[in-house]
Amino acid sequence: MSSNSGIQIPSRLPLLCTHDGVLLPGSTMRISVDTARNMQLVKSRLLKGTSLQSTIIGFIPNTRDPEHDSDELPSLHSIGTAGLVVQVVGSNWPKPHYTLLITGLCRFRVTQLLREKPFPVAKVEQLDKLEQYTEGDQADGELEELSQRFYQAAVQLVGMLDMSVPVVAKLRRLLDSLPKETLPDVLASMIRTSNKEKLQVLDAVDLEERFKKALPLLTRQIEGLKLLQKTRKLRPDDDKRVLAIRKGGVFPGRQFSLDEDGEDEDGDDTAMLEKKVKAAAMPEAALRVCLKELKRLKKMPQSMPEYALTRNYLEMMVELPWSKSSTDCLDIRAARVLLDNDHYAMEKLKRRVLEYLAVRQLKSTLKGPILCFVGPPGVGKTSVGRSIARTLGREFHRIALGGVCDQSDIRGHRRTYVGSMPGRIINGLKTVGVNNPVMTKTNMGCISPPINCVLYQVLDPEQNHSFTDHYLNVPFDLSQVLFIATANTMATIPPALLDRMEVLQVPGYTQEEKVEIAHRHLIPHQLEQHGLTPQQLQIPQDTTKDIISKYTREAGVRSLERKIGAICRAVAVKFAEGHKVFRAESPTEQHADQNTENKEEDSGIAAPPEMPIVIDPIALKDILGPPVFEMEVSERLTLPGVAIGLAWTPMGGEIMFVEASRMEGEGQLTLTGQLGDVMKESAHLAISWLRSNAKTYLLTNGSADPLEGTDIHLHFPAGAVTKDGPSAGVTIVTCLASLLSGRLVRSDVAMTGEITLRGLVLPVGGIKDKVLAAHRANLKRVIIPKRNEKDLEEIPPRVRADLDFVFASTLDEVLNAAFDGGFPAAVSHPQVVSKL
């Protein structure tokens, strides 16, 4: 740049230290400034100052790793480039920063640091005195020869570029008009060089040395281009791949560089993006939108926040699997084997899933119902979904809807918001990269009405071929996605959605099933996860039973899996330490934990553990602590006024102790515990029935009304889950009958059933889960309404055999079955038969 020749820079310069690259004299560069020091410099020198001189700053390449940059001023690189700041653009997004456009003028050396804060200012000595070379010193033959060679190489390089590009033609003209001494700097900043190489050129104060440093770089670039052109000739269809020429550079306001792939800088990005848009095979509507956005993007300055927004949008659009799908490879026989291998029990569910898959195989365009697995947590709903994906050879993605409270979570934010992004469905598709994955939507029941509305559109086969995400703002076809919904309870799924789905109940597991699941699946899986082998750790069946009954109380197997995980961790630690702590021998020895430790300390060597480590009850207690759930049933039924009911909650069945006590008062009924309105009504019904039948059952306590002068307090302890439902009716009656008669209810009986004022017992729901809960609690007799008898079919035969079922149609039958020796009425009770 011949205009440089007369430049005299100020002797004191503010210094800008940056990692953004190396500015060479004669080139222009855009750098982003966001450190406190540099921001201060921009504010006080560039934004406030008005003179031309104040826009000249010293640019020092920061050689320190940006990760370790601190407030402290790093030791400064001694040579820098004085630059003229041509443009300053400020932005607050994504964080406060300035973008500066700087043109390099000449080198300088820092002679003395004058101050460090708020930004460094130094006394400098100008190094490039360009006129010196152009005027005299022609005699230096070597330098002359070097500069000639360099010039020719530069001409060769430009000759290899496409002259029809205006910027290339201009560069060709510039080569002739620029003084040769400036060429190393100008070309080194344009060709593909690393920052380290540029730094070497900057440090080469001596002109001859500078030519020597820059020439190999130039030759390398020429060789690279030659290679590229050769390969391009082999692939003529790739002709459109223009040499990456970034606009700008020596021309102020723009940056210029020659680059083979242009991946790392933005100038050529739009061309790449355009190519990607065209290759994305998107539908007509989406393509139109993308091309329009692309056009806008090309016209936008990069420092505009909208530039980033539009770019992100386009990148998202090209990454979506518009027409990319995996091929289904369904073999029903293999699918059956796979489902059986992955999951123990759940026969009904597996059968229905196979039917569903078989139909899909016969008719691939099936717009069938969406499967919805309903059951307590941890019973394998999601994992069946994953297996379905595997049998079909499809990708799997899980979307958890629990806690989603905003519809834009599903449908995305409109692009006008800063930080807007697509919803979970589109994001999921982007992640899996195909448009036909298996997607499970868990926790369908726990969501708000507007979200249900969106889900309705997503799941409905009639509508989902044109699902519009707010962010994309063009329809995306979801009809290839195989949706599987899961929920803990059907009750909270809106009817319109339920109508579109085929509900498959997944009930909780019995203890035996859990033991099998643990040994077939959970233990091997956890061993593998923790890097252990069955030769190192063994968990006998009895221990598994103990874990199930003493450390977990759940319908599914999730806690069980966690507990097994805890055991594996403990054992893994022991192996890692090389200690020997768990031994399956005598319990007394095991208890003497301290002794063991002392012994080890004495010997001073950590012995490797004995193989395999068998988890016996003592080791189990060591690892998991004292049992969390003791079977307290018999202890709690030692006083009159306690009965065991069976409740259904979304978490599965539960046993529930109903307690009653009486005290002097005015016939008040107090209810406490987690209860809903229906429960309160049941309590009132129960009391009314007992009062009207007090004489029959000799509960009068002398007076005509058993509640005269008495307050009754009913309590439903245990569990934070609200128990709403009429099914506690029979339990409340039994509990009150026990209280008023002073007799104990049998401690091994649990019951469920709705009552009427006339003493009839009506059927209730959730029988299977309730019976399983009673079985889990080791109870022996279960009283259920007569009309629920048919529901017993669903219960595994082994559980049925363990329990004694009493089918009651009247309260009289309930009371007789609940008390040892029956609950005889004084006068024969008129038999009421349910006509309902």
Annotated catalytic residues are 727, 770
157 or 379, CB closer to ligand ADP? 379
322 or 396, CB closer to ligand ADP? 396
Which of 93-101, 556-564, 686-694, 736-744 is the region at the interface with ligand ADP (rule: CB under 6 A)?
556-564
207: contact with ligand ADP by CB under 6 A: no
* 80: three-class secondary structure by DSSP: strand
Please tell me the distance from the alpha carbon of residue 192 to that of residue 260, in angstroms, as a whole number: 8
483: contact with ligand ADP by CB under 6 A: no
- Shortest distance in whole angstroms from residue 340 CB to ligand ADP: 10
527: contact with ligand ADP by CB under 6 A: no
Considering only 104, 120, 248, 378, the residue that binds ligand ADP (CB under 6 A) is 378
Strand partners, 823: none
Q: At what angle do helices 424-432 and 305-319 cross, to 10 degrees?
A: 60
Please tell me the distance from the alpha carbon of residue 324 to that of residue 434, in angstroms, as a whole number: 5
Cα radius of gyration (the chain) = 40
345 or 493, CB closer to ligand ADP? 345
521: contact with ligand ADP by CB under 6 A: yes
Residue among 5, 2, 34, 1 at smallest CA distance from 17: 34
Please tell me the distance from the alpha carbon of residue 244 to that of residue 232, in angstroms, as a whole number: 14
Neighbours of 522 (CB within 10 A): 22
397: contact with ligand ADP by CB under 6 A: no
Considering only 390, 558, 743, 787, the residue that binds ligand ADP (CB under 6 A) is 558
Q: Contact, 28 vs 103, CB < 8 A?
A: yes
- Shortest distance in whole angstroms from residue 555 CB to ligand ADP: 9
* Residue-by-residue DSSP string for 178-240: S-GGGHHHHHHHHSS--HHHHHHHHH--SHHHHHHHHHHHHHHHHHHHHHHHHHHHH-GGGGG
Contacts (CB under 6 A) with ligand ADP, residues 643-662: none
* 639: three-class secondary structure by DSSP: coil
Residue 640's identity, in one-letter code, is P
- Which residue is nearest to ligand ADP, using beta carbons? 380
486: contact with ligand ADP by CB under 6 A: yes
723: contact with ligand ADP by CB under 6 A: no
353: contact with ligand ADP by CB under 6 A: no
441: contact with ligand ADP by CB under 6 A: no
124 or 346, CB closer to ligand ADP? 346
528 or 632, CB closer to ligand ADP? 528
Please tell me the distance from the alpha carbon of residue 273 to that of residue 318, in angstroms, as a whole number: 8
φ, ψ for residue 518 (rounded to 5)? -60, -45
- Shortest distance in whole angstroms from residue 553 CB to ligand ADP: 16
Q: Contact, 168 vs 245, CB < 8 A?
A: yes
Please tell me the distance from the alpha carbon of residue 815 to that of residue 809, in angstroms, as a whole number: 11
Cite the DSSP H helix spans in 280-422: 284-299, 305-319, 332-342, 347-362, 381-392, 407-411
183 or 335, CB closer to ligand ADP? 335
496-521 CB burial, b ≥16 within 10 A, e <16: ebbebbeebebbbbbbbbbbbbbeeb
Q: Which helix (H) or strand (E) holds 373?
A: strand 370-374
555 or 749, CB closer to ligand ADP? 555
Please report where in the chains the tokens 């994504």 appear, as a residue.
Answer: 94
Q: Which token pair is 516? A: 């099998």
* Residue-by-residue DSSP string for 528-578: HHTT--TTTEE--HHHHHHIIIII---SSSHHHHHHHHHHHHHHHHHHHHT
383 or 661, CB closer to ligand ADP? 383
121 or 517, CB closer to ligand ADP? 517
Please tell me the distance from the alpha carbon of residue 709 to that of residue 830, in angstroms, as a whole number: 29
383: contact with ligand ADP by CB under 6 A: yes
Which of 318-326, 415-423, 552-560, 671-679 is the region at the interface with ligand ADP (rule: CB under 6 A)?
552-560
Considering only 248, 380, 641, 725, the residue that binds ligand ADP (CB under 6 A) is 380
554: contact with ligand ADP by CB under 6 A: no
| SS percent in the chain: helix, strand, coil, step 5 | 45, 20, 40
- Shortest distance in whole angstroms from residue 379 CB to ligand ADP: 4
Which of 83-91, 328-336, 371-379, 642-650 is the region at the interface with ligand ADP (rule: CB under 6 A)?
371-379
- Shortest distance in whole angstroms from residue 395 CB to ligand ADP: 17
300 or 721, CB closer to ligand ADP? 721
- Shortest distance in whole angstroms from residue 486 CB to ligand ADP: 6
245 or 439, CB closer to ligand ADP? 439
Cite the DSSP H helix spans in 416-517: 424-432, 449-459, 495-499, 511-517
# residues contacting ligand ADP (CB under 6 A): 18
- Shortest distance in whole angstroms from residue 270 CB to ligand ADP: 45
Alpha-carbon distances, residue 506 vs 31, 401, 798 (angstroms): 60, 19, 18
Considering only 184, 377, 422, 640, the residue that binds ligand ADP (CB under 6 A) is 377
Q: Contact, 13 vs 115, CB < 8 A?
A: no
Considering only 37, 45, 210, 343, the residue that binds ligand ADP (CB under 6 A) is 343
Which of 7-15, 239-247, 271-279, 344-352 is the region at the interface with ligand ADP (rule: CB under 6 A)?
344-352
Q: Using CA atoms of 749, 751, 757, 763 in order, give the dihedral in degrees to the nearest 10.
A: -150
714: contact with ligand ADP by CB under 6 A: no
557: contact with ligand ADP by CB under 6 A: yes
Considering only 167, 372, 379, 410, the residue that binds ligand ADP (CB under 6 A) is 379
530: contact with ligand ADP by CB under 6 A: no
510: contact with ligand ADP by CB under 6 A: no
Strand partners, 660: 714
Q: Which helix (H) or strand (E) holds 690?
A: helix 677-692
Considering only 108, 344, 476, 582, the residue that binds ligand ADP (CB under 6 A) is 344
Residue among 651, 498, 616, 650 at smallest CA distance from 546: 616
Considering only 41, 204, 258, 346, the residue that binds ligand ADP (CB under 6 A) is 346
- Shortest distance in whole angstroms from residue 507 CB to ligand ADP: 11
Alpha-carbon distances, residue 766 vs 652, 731, 753, 782, 795 (angstroms): 9, 16, 11, 14, 11
514 or 550, CB closer to ligand ADP? 514
- Shortest distance in whole angstroms from residue 351 CB to ligand ADP: 14
Please tell me the distance from the alpha carbon of residue 601 to that of residue 285, in angstroms, as a whole number: 75
574: contact with ligand ADP by CB under 6 A: no
- Shortest distance in whole angstroms from residue 343 CB to ligand ADP: 4
210: contact with ligand ADP by CB under 6 A: no
563: contact with ligand ADP by CB under 6 A: no
83 or 385, CB closer to ligand ADP? 385
- Shortest distance in whole angstroms from residue 267 CB to ligand ADP: 49
- Shortest distance in whole angstroms from residue 373 CB to ligand ADP: 7
745: contact with ligand ADP by CB under 6 A: no
Considering only 62, 103, 200, 382, the residue that binds ligand ADP (CB under 6 A) is 382
772: contact with ligand ADP by CB under 6 A: no
Which of 347-355, 557-565, 575-583, 641-649 is the region at the interface with ligand ADP (rule: CB under 6 A)?
557-565
Distance between first and last Cα of the chain: 102
**Which residues make up the interface to ligand ADP (CB under 6 A)?**
343-346, 377-383, 486, 517, 521, 556-558, 561
